[in-house]
Amino acid sequence: MTILVTGGAGFIGSNFVLDWLAQGEEPVVTLDKLTYAGNLANLARLQNDPRHTFVRGDICDRPLVARMLATHRVRAVLHFAAESHVDRSIHGPSEFVQTNLVGTFSLLEEVRAHWNELSGARREGFRFLHVSTDEVYGSLQPGEPAFTETRAYSPNSPYSASKAGSDHLVRAYYHTYGLPVLTSNCSNNYGPMQFPEKLIPLMILNALEQKPLPVYGDGGNVRDWLHVGDHCEALRSVLTHGRPGETYNVGGSAECTNLQVVNTLCELLDRLSPRTSGRYSELIKFVTDRPGHDRRYAIDATKIRRELKWTPRHSFATGLEQTVRWYLENRAWVENIRSGEYQRWIDKNYLAR
């Protein structure tokens, strides 16, 4: 028996694949299109591991997905594949609709056909775990209670709208067809191997290169931060013990403003890799806010803690220092993924602000 991981060369997906194979022998088949954020270097240590099979392909390629499900006798699908950066969705929403909405539909259709061919224990034990985001819930006001699983959806960006649509499709396939699906909605992830357009790696790398640290608006936007290792553990729990048809919110209980995160990173770098003169915080530059920028996200993870006995292992302080050390020690990884396309993206998104 095998699990299929879509988007398994991306940040969260690759961390999950590595974590899965570090803790057990069940094989993994990874399907990834290898767009800008998919990086085979993330899975390099598995190159000669017979438990891992990598397939380059698109979740919209239904014949390919059907062959993979049948050939590898897949007993569970973990669906990470997604366009995931809000700024990119503002500049080019069509790719987000295609991957996140149409791609999820295509995958669900092939998974449903595969599941319908199963019988007995294999059919009963099959699972489809859809990995989603807290951004589908919209924006919280200061002091407002954190997002629970019953919160009404209110997406405010093309990215979050496309993920909300995929969540609704997954739910519909459970209620209409009985497909044994699970959905997780996580808060902002951070940790090793994150593509450097996201806040934390972008600030670390810009600081080390003595570049400005661009902070949107007044820096007061609040996010709940979740270490990717804790997220992987939560997903294992949801896959193994979650109830089909249910949604589980996964958060790190670490609300911080963006400015607080950047200042903390600067303090860590001052200690771990000091500048020749001055402090890293001197590089902070406030830039024009992005359109529709949600003010606050916060996850109420009571349900997953109560039902599945999951709690995060990392505090934000220890997890952030671990992350900074990883980027300091893995500069070759960074250079390998900084393609011309990525540099053009940074120029397009930040220099004009």
Contact 237, 308 (CB under 8 A): yes
Beta carbons within 8 Å of 59's beta carbon, 6+ residues apart: 6, 31, 33, 65, 79, 81, 99, 103, 104, 106, 107
Instruction: Give the angle 55-61-65 at the CA atoms, nearest 5°.
Output: 55
Among residues 32, 137, 159, 297, the one annotated as catalytic is 159
| Closest C-alpha among 170, 164, 166 to residue 182 | 170
Beta carbons within 8 Å of 332's beta carbon, 6+ residues apart: none
Would you call 134 a catalytic residue per the annotation?
yes
Give the pair of three-digit tokens for residue 225: 């931060």
DSSP per residue, 311-338: --S--HHHHHHHHHHHHHH-HHHHHHH-
Tell me the residue type at 125.
Answer: G
Sign of the Cα torsion 218, 220, 226, 227 reads: positive
Among residues 83, 110, 135, 230, the one annotated as catalytic is 135
In the sheet that holds 74-79, the strands lie side by side as 52-56, 28-32, 2-6, 74-79, 127-133, 181-186, 247-250
Would you call 135 a catalytic residue per the annotation?
yes
Contact 35, 59 (CB under 8 A): no
Phi, psi of 213, rounded to the nearest 5 degrees: -105, 95
43: three-class secondary structure by DSSP: helix
What's the rounded Cα separation, in Å, for the pair 317 and 328? 17
Burial class (CB in 10 A: 0-12, 13-18, 19+), 284: middle
Give the pair of three-digit tokens for residue 114: 């595969």
Give the pair of three-digit tokens for residue 182: 């699970």
Among residues 87, 134, 197, 230, the one annotated as catalytic is 134
Residues identified as active-site: 134-135, 159
